[in-house]
């Protein structure tokens, strides 16, 4: 797979005929156009074998029928999003949905999934394909939550990223900067902080708010510097340290954004966890598409 457009060789999107999958497809087409790469539409038949002639069709006929439906969805989404020039390749695989998507995207793809599919219970996201992809994929994963924003004026475009000084959040900030650059958007870098030291309220544990705020500002500046965003460049950067629980702060700030970017784990994440509490909360509750990044997949 050829590396193009800031290290992304192609955009792989999981589809299953659901509205959520069509929303993911629309986002994937827009992203592919920005990056100048192709889209691979992937649908996964759960099981090792296709239905075959059980429904009167051969395996070849079954796959041709599925591919035709996928192409029809692609044509519809491309017309709506103005991405008819983006090459689209439909593909049918068999097996475990999340594992198949992860294998298809590899380490140099961008994997896009809907927040729910045909098989998910409404409102129940734990253990879903989207979460499994966000936890285990070797490449950046975007969960296409919210409404696809389509075309916006440059003055309204905004990419939000949460930082806390960790390697994961620095990778997220670099990726977010690349996404903002592609869109001509503002990059909104956010660090959420709260007084967790004086939880029991005792005077021995009290830390002045001024000190905590200074520490938060220092963590924000450290993240900006590590990501190379502390000096003037070709991306408009707005940086804020906002008091509040980090995951809640990010969801509030992400309202109306083109994309929210988070690291797979932050400073508070346990070493054994693949997806920290902030990332998990954003994947399941964000008001806009969410990209999950690991340290090895930063972009400059």
| CATH number of the domain within which 213 lies | 3.40.50.620
Q: Which of 261, 278, 295 is the last residue of a domain?
A: 261
Arithmetic mean of pLDDT, 79-106: 94
Tell whether the model's pLDDT for residue 124 goes beyond 60.
no
The label of the residue with tokens 């059980």 reads 54
Residues 114 and 18 in one domain: yes
Task: Clarify whether residues 186 and 108 are in a common domain.
Answer: no
| Closest residue by Cα to residue 120 from 18, 41, 51, 44 | 18
Q: What is the DSSP string of 228-281?
A: T-SS--SSEEEEEEEES-HHHHHHHHTTT-SEEEEES--TTS-TT-SS-HHHHH
Are 69 and 121 part of one and the same domain? yes
Average pLDDT over residues 212-219: 90
pLDDT score for 190: 96
- Global pTM reads 0.85
Query: What is the count of structural domains for the chain?
Result: 2
Does any domain span residue 161? yes
- Specify the pLDDT at position 175: 95
Which among 125, 144, 163 is the end of a domain?
144
Average pLDDT taken over every residue of the chain = 82
Cβ atoms of residues 129 and 15 within 8 Å: no
Condensed to tens digits (0 to 9), the pLDDT of residues 19-55 reads 889 999 999 999 999 999 999 999 998 876 666 656 6
Last residue of a domain, one of 242, 261, 280: 261
Q: Is residue 226 assigned to a domain?
A: yes
pLDDT average, residue stretch 110-136? 70
Can you tell me whether residue 227 is helix, strand or coil?
Answer: coil
- Average pLDDT value for residue range 1-30: 82
Report the pLDDT value the prediction gives residue 2, as an integer from 0 to 100.
38
pLDDT exceeds 60 at position 67: yes
- What pLDDT is recorded for position 197? 55
Range of the domain at 52: 11-144
Does residue 247 share a domain with residue 225?
yes
The reply to whether 279 falls in a domain is no
Is 266 inside a domain boundary? Answer: no
**What is the pLDDT, as a whole number, of residue 61?**
87
Per-residue confidence band for 265, with pLDDT thresholds at 50, 70 and 90: low
Q: Distance (Å, rounded) from C-alpha 164 to C-alpha 200? A: 24
Task: Report the distance separating Cα 98 and Cα 25, nearest Å.
Answer: 16
Query: Domain check: are 68 and 188 in the same one?
Result: no
């Amino acid at each position: 797979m050829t590396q193009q457009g800031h290290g992304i060789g192609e955009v792989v999107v999981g589809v299953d005929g659901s509205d959520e999958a069509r929303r993911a497809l629309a986002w994937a087409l827009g992203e592919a156009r920005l990056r100048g790469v192709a889209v691979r539409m992937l649908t996964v038949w759960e099981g090792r074998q296709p239905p075959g002639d059980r429904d009167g069709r051969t395996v070849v006929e079954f796959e041709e029928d599925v591919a035709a439906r996928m192409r029809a969805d692609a044509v519809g989404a491309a017309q709506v999003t103005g991405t008819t020039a983006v090459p689209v390749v439909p593909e049918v695989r068999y097996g475990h949905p999340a594992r198949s998507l992860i294998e298809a995207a590899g380490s140099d793809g961008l994997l896009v999934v809907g927040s729910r599919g045909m098989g998910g219970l409404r409102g129940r996201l734990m253990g879903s394909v989207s979460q499994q992809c966000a936890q285990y994929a070797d490449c950046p994963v975007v969960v296409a939550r919210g409404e696809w924003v389509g075309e916006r004026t440059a003055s309204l475009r905004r990419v939000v990223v949460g930082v806390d000084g960790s390697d994961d959040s620095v990778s997220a900030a670099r990726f977010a900067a690349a996404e903002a650059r592609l869109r001509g958007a503002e990059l909104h870098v956010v660090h959420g902080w709260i007084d967790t030291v004086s939880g029991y309220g005792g005077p021995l544990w009290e830390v002045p708010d001024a000190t905590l705020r200074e520490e938060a500002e220092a963590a924000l500046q450290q993240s900006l510097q590590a990501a190379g965003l502390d000096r003037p460049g070709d991306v408009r950067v707005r940086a804020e340290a906002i008091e509040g629980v980090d995951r809640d702060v990010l969801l509030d700030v992400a309202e109306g954004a083109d994309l929210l970017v988070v690291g797979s784990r932050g400073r508070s994440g346990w070493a054994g966890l693949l997806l920290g509490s902030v990332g998990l909360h954003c994947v399941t509750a964000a008001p806009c598409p969410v990209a999950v990044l690991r340290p090895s997949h930063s972009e400059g």
